[in-house]
A and B are shown apart, each in its own frame.
Chain A
Amino acid sequence: MNTPGNVVVVGASVAGLTAAVTLRTLGYDGRLTLIGDEPHTPYNRPPLSKQILAGTWEPDRIKLRTDEELSDLDARLLFGRSATGLDTAARRVVLEDGDSVSYDALVIATGVTPNSLPGAHHLAGVHLLRTLDDALALRADLRHKPGVKVAVVGAGFLGSEAAAAARRMQLDVTMIDPRPVPMRRQFGDRIAGLVGRLHTKNGVSMRCGTGVRRFFESGGRVTGLELTDGTLLDADVVVVAIGAAPAVGWLAGSGLELGNGVECDPTCRAAPGVYAAGDVASWHNDHFGCRMRLEHRLNATEQAQAVARNVLGEGQPFAPVPYFWTDQYDAHIQAYGIFPADAELAVLHGELEGGHFVVAYGHRGRVVGVLGWNSPCELRKLRQLVVDRAPWTSILPTPPTVWPGRHLSASLR
């Protein structure tokens, strides 16, 4: 085993911090540098679109480590500093102020950057939601006067959760998405249809199957928008939640393969001494036999732990069963596995109309995913089907309800 003497981690959110912490936990006693472009100490992101936005939690509650714990890490902490370049031959990371930091091993954990809508973001009242500062700015705007009208553009995880949080604040909410139902790409038509009904039931005005044509403004502040179907909407606040792209701009010219993220081998290694973890990493997951890149909270932790072990020479493939969850109104939705476009669907527990159920997703004769709606304990027990890649027919002795494929859309990237 050839342990590097000097490890640099770029990105100080969950993946970057976890990689650094895991290195120390495993006994790494060499030099360690953690670089992050946000001024805040590392924090947890899932509450941003939930408790932080709703105002039920304050930012102190989402810190990933106390200041004392960060100090115990015995690392050089460069927060509020952006990496702007990488020289893999000289093994140096270049920072925006021209400084550079050399490494023996590098962990890239720079996450994703939210996509923006052209022609909108110069207007006051138009928000992205990725960072703590984004969430606090949006929260303040949602409270700036009673009866605020909110337009949420994009009905994926983030848009759906933001819409639910705004409804919880009793605001007037419209959600807009070019797809026919919210979260279709994540869950497929059938379950996504239930998410759509959930939003409608809770008072969100759903505008599906349409996009945004243009914004209206007054004095530099957004006042409304026109949809591609011609609808005119008043809006005091607009949340743009139309996905995100891997933050790899700083790696241009580095020689790393940059497709959909930093392309790695099954051990999450991108080049000699260079690894990637979290939202930015694209790697081959041997369990499912395909390449994936996940923007999931648990993956950031697990992949960073695997990378830390591999930095220290273990060289093991990272082949997890992915997990994610979302909270919207009274629905707690959790899922394990992958959800391919042409999967079949079968109910394993409860019933779809009953508000509590678990469904399995089958692909090429195997169970590849399970999704639970307000059924956390049952879902955890059924996770094993995905771990075992159970034959699809084995879960259908007396099939209660099965739908054929071709009604789901891809969740894999």
Chain B
Amino acid sequence: MQVTLHQDKCVASGQCVLAAQDVFDQRDLDGVAVLLDDRPPAELHDDVRQAATVCPALAIALADA
């Protein structure tokens, strides 16, 4: 799985961190999401898919890798 995060769309909701905290974090300054791992291991894929689904700004894109 290849994860892409579009920070310019992010609204700092932090929903991605709640869904997959090993893959996403938030910048202290403004809460914009940060991608910790753009190729997360298989056991995290369900969490990452949930993060992409609940992102209210559609800022997370997933592709096969």
- What residues on B are CB-neighbors of A334 within 8 Å? 12-13
Q: Which of A300-314 contact B (CB under 8 A)?
A: 301-302, 305
Give a binary string over B27-56; 1 marks a CB under 8 Å from any A CB, 0 the rest: 110110000000000000000010001101
Q: Which of A18, A46, A62, A376 has most B Cβ within 10 Å?
A: A376
Contact between chains at B18 and A18 (CB < 8 Å): no
Q: How far is the CA of A21 from the CA of B53 in the complex (A)?
A: 10
Inter-chain contact A327/B31, CB cutoff 8 Å: no
Tell me if A168 is interfacial: C-beta within 8 Å of chain B: no
- B residues 1-39 near A (Cβ < 8 Å) are 9, 11-15, 17-18, 26-28, 30-31
Contact among A21, A298, A379 with B15 in the assembled complex (CB-CB below 8 Å): A298
Nearest CB to that of B55 among chain A residues? A301
Q: Which of A330-388 contact B (CB under 8 A)?
A: 332, 334, 375-377, 379-380, 383
Assess whether A302 is in contact with B54, with CB atoms less than 8 Å apart: yes
- Tally of chain A residues near chain B (CB < 8 A): 25
Interface residues of A in 278-324 (CB under 8 A from B): 297-298, 301-302, 305, 323
Neighbouring A residues of B56 by C-beta, 8 Å = 44, 46, 297-298, 301, 325
Note all chain B residues with C-beta closer than 8 A to A64.
58
Q: Do A377 and B11 touch (CB < 8 A)?
A: no
Measured CA separation A297–B17 after assembly (Å): 17
Q: How large is the interface on B (under 10, 10 to 19, 20 to 34, 35 or more residues)?
A: 10 to 19
Instruction: Say which residue of B9, B12, B26, B53 sits within 8 Å of A18 (CB atoms).
Output: B53
In the complex, A383 Cα to B15 Cα: how many Å?
11
A323 touches B31 (CB 8 A): no
With the chains together, A46 CA to B27 CA distance in Å?
Answer: 22
Q: Which A-chain residue is minimally distant from B14 (CB atoms)?
A: A380
Give chain A interface residues in 16-68, CB to chain B under 8 Å.
Answer: 18, 21-22, 25, 44, 46, 61-62, 64
Task: Check A377 against B13 for contact (C-beta < 8 Å).
Answer: no
Q: Give the docked Cα–Cα distance between A334 and B53 (Å).
A: 19
Specify which of A46, A298, A377 is in contact with B26 (CB 8 Å cutoff): A377
Flag if A377 contacts B14 (CB, 8 Å): yes
**CB-CB < 8 A to A305: which residues of B?**
53
A47 and chain B: residue at smallest CB distance: B57
**Closest chain B residue to A332 by CB distance?**
B12
A–B pairs, 27, beta carbons within 8 Å: A44-B56, A44-B58, A61-B9, A64-B58, A298-B13, A298-B15, A298-B54, A298-B56, A301-B54, A302-B54, A305-B53, A325-B11, A325-B12, A332-B12, A334-B12, A376-B13, A376-B26, A376-B30, A377-B26, A377-B27, A377-B31, A379-B14, A380-B14, A380-B17, A380-B18, A380-B26, A383-B18
Known pairs A301-B56, A377-B28. 7 more at Cβ < 8 A? A22-B53, A46-B56, A305-B53, A327-B11, A334-B12, A376-B30, A380-B18
Identify the B interface with A (CB < 8 A): 9, 11-15, 17-18, 26-28, 30-31, 49, 53-54, 56-58
Q: Chain A interface (Cβ within 8 Å of chain B)?
A: 18, 21-22, 25, 44, 46, 61-62, 64, 297-298, 301-302, 305, 323, 325, 327, 332, 334, 375-377, 379-380, 383
Pick the 8 closest A-B CB pairs, nearest first.
A376-B31, A380-B14, A376-B12, A297-B56, A377-B26, A301-B54, A298-B56, A377-B31
